[in-house]
Structure 1
Amino acid sequence: MDAVRQGGSSDPPGAAASIADAKRGLGSVPFARALVTGLLLALAVVVARFSWDLPMSSFAERVAFDVRSLQAAMHRPAAQDPRILLVVYTPATQEATGKRSPLDRAILARALANLDRLRAKAVGIDILIDQPQPEDDALRSTLRAMRTPTWLAYASAAHNGADMQPWQQARLDALFRDLRGSRVRPASIHLEADGDNAIRSWPRTPRDLPPFLPQALAGNSNGAHYDGSIRYRMPADPERQVFLSLPIDLFAQPETAAALADQVRGRIVLIGGDLPDSDRFVTPEGRLANPDTAFGRQFRENIPGLEVHATMLAQLLDTRMPTPTGASGLWLLAFLVVLAGAFTAMLDVRPWVLGVILGGEMAFFIATPFWLQNIGVDTRDLPAVGWVAGWLLAFMATEAAVRALSSEQRRFAQAALGKYLPRDIAAEILRDPDKLSLTGEKRAIFALFTDLEGFTRLSHRLRPEEVAPLLNAYLDGMCEIVLRHGGTIDKFVGDAIVALWGAPIARDDDGERAANAMLEMVAFARDFSTRGDQAAVRLGRTRVGVHYGEAIVGNFGGRDRFQYTALGDVMNAAARLESANKALKTAGLISATALERSNSDAFRPMGRVTLAGRSTPIEVWEPAPDMPFADRRALAQAWTAFDAGDLSALNTLHALTARYPDDAALQFFVYRLEDCGPGRHFELREK
């Protein structure tokens, strides 16, 4: 550490040793704390990577994905698909056939025969023929005679659990043995819903099952199965769903079926149920859309499984298969998110800069999943909520570690520098120890001086054990105001306080901070002696002076002691302003030079005065927050008019003094104006 030279002097010997110890200790973090922080960061990575699988976050991830799916669907509304036709059993079909479950197979056989003649491109049947019915022979004959490529539903007891008993699978296996050599082949219809019964992803197809129905109908039954999210589409016209759906009853008779030849020819026909009480699933969009609105009706609350198959089939035909993020990509993103949270917690920047950084990171977390969804990346397993949770966990863990380290730094600073420098200067030196070698620099500052009127006489009347608590309580309150408004406490001179704004750190709003501190100090001092034990003592009035100007700031002192302070005319002027309060009967005075940099309207004019020992007049203002704004403005306007030579403005001034007969400062102000005349100033002769 460089020695601080003040006229050939150096640092106090103890300070140099203490600072050296502090520099050695600043980077030390106890092993236990580092271990806990490391474990929390590792946990944050796990949360940011696997939040889809965690019980506390999986629901939120589903909702976030549903919002993205809805936005993507709204972005690209679809016209009715001309390639796919749904032929469905409806409640009316059940009523006409007199069969609820299993569905009537006689009408299925007749519909298949008629559809076969209408030259459909392919037929997919989402109905399990797993229970014996009287119409089975007719249906079997129709299936054997099909010339159209037909895929019939198949399920396995091994993969469907209680929904498929071994004897049912045995009947299915026997049926397909009978159909061997025909154009009818088995296709898996297994769908996998999430815990909320919403279908978001393509199901996994085990190798011991036949090809998945949409894949088989798309013509790539031997290709690799897609493992990603389903891309549902929003109908461009609320009155026309994405897929044309017709009751199977219309195809049961040759005459009505022939009338629908144009709706069948060249299309892939999917046959299944559209029944309110079975085989229905919620879609991501349907969970969010309000069915009571026109927009919401474009997304039904739930859809039949047959339409889910149709959606996946259309997705295959359109090759709208989102690119998976991949495990390595998800791990990389998780690490980056956690690193961002940790580094953000370690930033030592201004609040507004931190706010911009936080806003940018939150925008990234929100916008990136939507952007990836829209450019064709599969966000089904993207842990968007996990990113935020992982970032927050990393931020809090690192913030706690940084705070603990900062606490150690503060203890080092207090031990090494607390005896020689003010606390805020010590904190600045701790962040940049080289600043201790600062010898002086010119800065524009706001200087504030206070003095407690009559305290010396009062202290002679009180016992010593009464003076210290009283003065300490007063100074504590006044200093807390200075520090809360970002000021630097320069020194104490008995009951007086000297404070600075603009050094050692300058802020754009230093003027506003200084003015607000002045207002609060005047109010605090006025009320202090009326509270608690102080009420019996009755302290005198506190006088405050504030001025703005250039000063030399730095470390000044002798060989063994030095102080960070300011020297210059601005300090003298602020001290004279504090003293001028006595003559002007005011509680506080701030120069116009300082006030115009504060943007405060809580002050009233007190004219121009020449301070003791100075030749140039200065315009001064007094804190008057309790005076209505209209009266403050009227006073300022009247003084400006009078100062410009308008003597009629005295009428307004006298009216104001009449309204405030107990306001000695206002009364004396108007008296001075009359005595001095327009454009003149009042000369103070005493310091």
Structure 2
Amino acid sequence: MGRIRGALQQRLPVVAGLAALTAFLAAALLLPSNDVLRDRAFDIELAGDQWLRKPASSDQKVVVVDIDRRSIDTLGDWPWPRDTMAQLVEAIAAGRPAAIAIDILLAEPDDRSPAALARRLGSVTGRAEISALAEGLPDGDQRLARAISTVPVALGLVLDPDRNGTLPGAAIVSRGPLPFDDLWQAMGAIGPTDSLAAAASGQGALSLPGSADGAIRQVPIFVAAGGVLMPGLAAEALRLAEGAASYRIEADPPRLVVGNRQLALPHDALLRLVPAAPSRRAARTLSAVDVFQGRAGDGQLAGAIVLLGGSAPQLGGLRKTSADPLTPSVQIQADAVEQMISGRVPRTLAIEPVVQPLAVLMVGMLAVVLGAALSPAAGSAILAAAIALLWMAAIAAAGLADRLVDPLTPSIAAVLVFTVTAGSAYSLTRRREAFVRHRLEQRLAPAVVRRIVEHPDLIKLTGERREVTSMFTDIEGFTATMHRAGPEELVATLDQYFEGVAGIVISHGGMVDKIVGDGLHALFNAPLDLDNHPQRAVECAIAIREWSEGFRRRVPAVAIRLGRTRIGIETGPAVVGDVGAQSKLDYTAHGDAVNMAARLEACNKELGSTICVGPVAAARCEASLLRPLGQLTVRGREEPITLFEPWPDDVPPSWREAYLKAYALLDRDAAHAAPLLQKLMAERPADIATRRLIERLPSIFKAGLSSESPAPRT
């Protein structure tokens, strides 16, 4: 059963990832697609066009005559009188363009010209002679109609869902059934006045369809108004410029032929726009007032398709696009004309319903493998690279082949599936680590457990030689304490004691090597490097001393009269690593520094100190941290060594300075040093270490000690 359970746990991340992938595929196939996300993905693809394609040189120029703020400030408030519009069209026509497309709905007759005012006054007063005056007065509609008749002009119409009726349709020749299955349709349409429509060479739809987020991304090539097929304004402008009498629509493959131009026909007859660079729009745009006043450059309009419209807010022609929330509709129509001239019709693949699930499945399976087999960081990096390649391929398909492929849905699927798989694998790994850690911490030091958990292939850690600082602690008079305390009381007190001491060691960067009886052995700079480890060890010892003195005053320690904690510290090279049988390993250290720290702990009895620091460790600490306690012969050393302890917290600076001066005289002039030490002891009678130093003076002199006493470095 255990093996079966283990096998199931191993497969859990894969099962979780496959379940997430299956759920995502089902949702993608059964639920409506998110058109907003899809459109934005296509926006990103088409935005890469400027890097993949250089602007193609065209044999047909497109110019926008813009009724901008400056034009309105100069020529008068909008709406302009028809006479002003007529003069502007005349100025454009004088430039000999190939065709003009007016992106303004001229649905109402002129009511501001003298002729219009005379007709209205005659109608109101009922006097026919006043109405007859209109025949000899300037008429804006008539002048605009004459201007329109002099050059191929396409006027605009708008779809109206509430108006029944039709307008004259375009001349369309079709080979086979029309290849439209999702044509934009309305009950009717509103067109220009009869006189203007009669003078114009054609009419095209001004209406622009918004996407799910309200942005304009498509321009109609054809629409249906009251069941009649009508061209869009851009398509009609192209037809007039080509001099074509009609449109030819071919069904297989769906294609539109306009004069000498051909372009593919989408199933909805909507042209997906490729974003135009702002610099391109600026280069093709002329201010209407400059054209009106004859300041347009020579030849700028000659042979061009001219689109007349406005960017001034008063015209109400600003539309939201994917790149700009305030794009003039005339610029959108101009983008469509240029795109038709270049023959670019971005569209989705016919087999997209099959390709999309396959892409999701392939990328999702890759995410399952990466999430289950690799670490989260490595898996994320590889998956990010795969998603980046997917997007690069989609951008290349859009820019080079005009095929739109949705990379966003597979990307979302990959991230979701990888998150579920990697999360499950990480959770399983964490549970495994917690189990291993719990089992090993019953026998091994926490630092060793961390190494084994991080590197489970290490059965036995290799030995290494490194410098360590070793620290031994011991409880004074523990044997007597053990005899007078009950077993439960003693064990409970020791549990609290070692928990506090071990926590202090770990917080200072040390490793608790082992606990034996009433003593604790700690290592600093093992198994990992620790900066300034001798001073860290001394600071740790000071913290243990302060904490243990407070612990001795608590109820459990007071009851058994727990002794003070004595500590020995020394630094030196040691061999560290796992030692023991295969079934019971112990990460520990062996070397002179370890042995010396244990003996220095015992030296506290003779020195009268709590913390005894050896000369090597002391030399690596700040000079202000320690004071010398004199020389002592330690077991295992033939020559006596100078030992140190941290300065007591309550020592004033003057006493400290006097102590160091008296200590410096010991080897040169002991006769003068002894009275100075006696005086210092009188000032601090509780300083046992000073008393013991004075008591050892005769034995020190008899031993003939060297006058060169090592001291802490400054």
Please list the CA deviations of residues 106-162 of structure 1 after superposition, one character each: whole Å capped at 9, or x if unmatched.
Answer: 433332233112123543322234556566665455434315xx444454457999x
Q: Does the alignment pair 1:585 with 2:609?
A: yes
After TM superposition, give the deviation of residue 400 of structure 1 in Å. Answer: 4.9
Please list the CA deviations of residues 444-487 of structure 1 after superposition, one character each: whole Å capped at 9, or x if unmatched.
Answer: 26353331432614444544443323221221233334556675
Q: For residues 133 and 586 of structure 1, what CA distance do their matches in structure 2 show? A: 109
After TM superposition, give the deviation of residue 510 of structure 1 in Å. Answer: 3.5
Partner of residue 86, structure 1 = 65
Partner of residue 472, structure 1 = 495
Number of residue pairs matched by the alignment: 583
Q: Does the alignment pair 1:213 with 2:253?
A: no
Q: For residues 534 and 268 of structure 1, what CA distance do their matches in structure 2 show? A: 99
Aligned partner (choices 143, 150, 155) of residue 148 of structure 2:
143
Give runs of aligned pairs for residues 161-172 of structure 1, distance below 5 A: 169=189, 171=191
Q: For residues 473 and 310 of structure 1, what CA distance do their matches in structure 2 show? A: 83
Give runs of aligned pairs for residues 556-635 of structure 1, distance below 5 A: 556=580, 563-580=586-603, 583=607, 585=609, 587=611, 589=613, 592=616, 604=625, 611-615=634-638
Q: Does the alignment pair 1:274 with 2:311?
A: yes
Percent identity for Structure 1 against Structure 2 = 19
Please tell me whether the aligned partners of residues 86 and 245 of structure 1 are also in contact (alpha carbons under 8 angstroms).
yes
Aligned partner (choices 434, 452, 471) of residue 449 of structure 1:
471
Please tell me whether the aligned partners of residues 509 and 524 of structure 2 are also in contact (alpha carbons under 8 angstroms).
yes
Please tell me whether the aligned partners of residues 154 and 237 of structure 2 are also in contact (alpha carbons under 8 angstroms).
yes
Cα distance 1:539–1:669, how it changes in 2: closer, same or farther (>3 A)? closer
Partner of residue 404, structure 1 = 428
Please tell me whether the aligned partners of residues 20 and 416 of structure 2 are also in contact (alpha carbons under 8 angstroms).
no
Aligned partner (choices 76, 86, 97) of residue 109 of structure 1:
86
Q: Does the alignment pair 1:233 with 2:278?
A: yes
Partner of residue 119, structure 1 = 96
Q: For residues 626 and 43 of structure 1, what CA distance do their matches in structure 2 show? A: 68
Please tell me whether the aligned partners of residues 156 and 233 of structure 2 are also in contact (alpha carbons under 8 angstroms).
no
Aligned partner (choices 1, 4, 9) of residue 29 of structure 1:
9
Please list the CA deviations of residues 356-414 of structure 1 after superposition, one character each: whole Å capped at 9, or x if unmatched.
Answer: x7997899899999999999987999889996997588447624542334324543564
Q: For residues 595 and 38 of structure 1, what CA distance do their matches in structure 2 show? A: 63
Partner of residue 263, structure 2 = 223
Q: For residues 39 and 693 of structure 2, what CA distance do their matches in structure 1 show? A: 69
Q: For residues 251 and 494 of structure 1, what CA distance do their matches in structure 2 show? A: 103
- Secondary structure at 1:510 match in 2: coil
Cα distance 1:165–1:469, how it changes in 2: closer, same or farther (>3 A)? same
Aligned partner (choices 366, 371, 374) of residue 342 of structure 1:
371
Partner of residue 550, structure 1 = 574
Please tell me whether the aligned partners of residues 469 and 572 of structure 2 are also in contact (alpha carbons under 8 angstroms).
yes
Q: For residues 39 and 278 of structure 2, what CA distance do their matches in structure 1 show? A: 23
Q: For residues 305 and 465 of structure 1, what CA distance do their matches in structure 2 show? A: 90
Aligned partner (choices 157, 174, 192) of residue 210 of structure 2:
192
Calculate the TM-score normalised by the size of structure 1. Answer: 0.60
After TM superposition, give the deviation of residue 322 of structure 1 in Å. Answer: 10
Please list the CA deviations of residues 593-622 of structure 1 after superposition, one character each: whole Å capped at 9, or x if unmatched.
Answer: 7986xxx86983556977431247888886
Give runs of aligned pairs for residues 4-403 of structure 1, distance below 5 A: 28-29=8-9, 35-36=15-16, 38-40=18-20, 84-88=63-67, 90=69, 93=72, 100=79, 104-130=81-107, 139-147=144-152, 150-157=153-160, 169=189, 171=191, 178=198, 182=201, 184=202, 186=204, 190=208, 192=210, 195=213, 201-203=217-219, 210=231, 213=234, 222-224=262-264, 227=272, 229-233=274-278, 244-247=285-288, 256-257=293-294, 264-265=301-302, 268-276=305-313, 278-281=316-319, 302-310=326-334, 335=364, 338=367, 342=371, 346=375, 391=415, 394-395=418-419, 398-403=422-427
After TM superposition, give the deviation of residue 548 of structure 1 in Å. Answer: 3.9
Q: Which stretch shows the higher mean deviation, 465-474 or 513-522?
A: 513-522
Please tell me whether the aligned partners of residues 14 and 421 of structure 2 are also in contact (alpha carbons under 8 angstroms).
no
Q: For residues 131 and 534 of structure 1, what CA distance do their matches in structure 2 show? A: 102
Q: Which stretch shows the higher mean deviation, 39-48 or 278-287?
A: 39-48
Paired AA for residue 190 in structure 1: L
Please tell me whether the aligned partners of residues 120 and 267 of structure 1 are also in contact (alpha carbons under 8 angstroms).
yes
Please tell me whether the aligned partners of residues 281 and 305 of structure 1 are also in contact (alpha carbons under 8 angstroms).
yes
Please tell me whether the aligned partners of residues 143 and 179 of structure 1 are also in contact (alpha carbons under 8 angstroms).
yes
After TM superposition, give the deviation of residue 492 of structure 1 in Å. Answer: 0.9
Aligned partner (choices 432, 436, 460) of residue 459 of structure 2:
436
Cα distance 1:107–1:443, how it changes in 2: closer, same or farther (>3 A)? same
Question: RMSD of aligned C-alpha atoms?
Answer: 6.6
Please tell me whether the aligned partners of residues 231 and 312 of structure 1 are also in contact (alpha carbons under 8 angstroms).
no
Cα distance 1:111–1:399, how it changes in 2: closer, same or farther (>3 A)? same
Partner of residue 547, structure 2 = 527
Paired AA for residue 127 in structure 1: I
Please tell me whether the aligned partners of residues 109 and 142 of structure 1 are also in contact (alpha carbons under 8 angstroms).
yes
Paired AA for residue 246 in structure 1: S
Paired AA for residue 101 in structure 2: G
Q: Which stretch shows the higher mean deviation, 313-322 or 463-472?
A: 313-322
After TM superposition, give the deviation of residue 281 of structure 1 in Å. Answer: 3.7
- Secondary structure at 1:476 match in 2: helix
Please tell me whether the aligned partners of residues 124 and 269 of structure 1 are also in contact (alpha carbons under 8 angstroms).
yes
Please list the CA deviations of residues 323-377 of structure 1 after superposition, one character each: whole Å capped at 9, or x if unmatched.
Answer: 9999779859965995698379736xxxxxx6xx799789989999999999998
Cα distance 1:37–1:59, how it changes in 2: closer, same or farther (>3 A)? closer
Partner of residue 492, structure 1 = 515
After TM superposition, give the deviation of residue 554 of structure 1 in Å. Answer: 2.3
Paired AA for residue 510 in structure 1: L
Q: For residues 375 and 535 of structure 1, what CA distance do their matches in structure 2 show? A: 78
- Secondary structure at 1:257 match in 2: coil
Please tell me whether the aligned partners of residues 155 and 188 of structure 1 are also in contact (alpha carbons under 8 angstroms).
yes
- Secondary structure at 1:523 match in 2: helix
Cα distance 1:622–1:584, how it changes in 2: closer, same or farther (>3 A)? same
Paired AA for residue 288 in structure 2: P
Q: For residues 382 and 625 of structure 1, what CA distance do their matches in structure 2 show? A: 74
Paired AA for residue 551 in structure 1: V
Higher-Rg structure is 2
Please list the CA deviations of residues 11-61 of structure 1 after superposition, one character each: whole Å capped at 9, or x if unmatched.
Answer: xxxxxxxxxx99987654187776445445777999999xx9869x96998
Please tell me whether the aligned partners of residues 99 and 306 of structure 2 are also in contact (alpha carbons under 8 angstroms).
yes
Please tell me whether the aligned partners of residues 504 and 543 of structure 2 are also in contact (alpha carbons under 8 angstroms).
no
- Secondary structure at 2:708 match in 1: coil
Q: For residues 162 and 6 of structure 2, what CA distance do their matches in structure 1 show? A: 61
Determine which structure has greater relative contact order: mean sequence separation of CA pairs < 8 Å that are 6+ residues apart, divided by chain length: 1
Cα distance 1:337–1:494, how it changes in 2: closer, same or farther (>3 A)? same
- Secondary structure at 1:192 match in 2: coil
- Secondary structure at 1:29 match in 2: helix
- Secondary structure at 2:571 match in 1: strand
Q: For residues 160 and 617 of structure 1, what CA distance do their matches in structure 2 show? A: 114
After TM superposition, give the deviation of residue 96 of structure 1 in Å. Answer: 6.5
Larger strand proportion, structure 1 or 2?
2
